[in-house]
Amino acid sequence: QVRLLESGGGSVQSGGSLRVSCSASGLHYSWYCMAWFRQAPGAERKDREGVAAIDSDGRTNYAYSVKGRFTISQDNAKNTLYLQMNSLTPEDTAVYYCAVDPDCMSTGQALDAYGMDYWGKGTAVTISS
């Protein structure tokens, strides 16, 4: 059974940086995409925004809103996914979730929440102005 556990959320001031992590277990797939999504305060689950995705070969894709500020990476030895977030603004305030799609065809597809089969419980990130 796939289990995803996010950590590293917290509160920082605008302009600051934060790194969130996702520890994965049970990922017995030869190919998959992992991605970070976020759900802003008051938003519904269906409105979760895909912010960054990475496939098993290390190819990445980013939402326009975070490109150049966020970096997704993975440590396969530790089964851990990371999201380094720089130049944070209050608009980045959200609960951040990691998710897995074992059938993804592209990292672009992995930015769509509809295709993700497994989700963590999220970690909250708050940016103050």
Provide mean pLDDT across the span 81-95. Answer: 98
% the chain with pLDDT above 90: 86
Confidence of residue 9 (pLDDT cuts 50, 70, 90): very high
Task: Find how far residue 17's CA is from the centre of its chain.
Answer: 15
Q: List Cβ neighbours of 87 (8 Å cut-off, separation of 6 or more).
A: 15, 17, 69
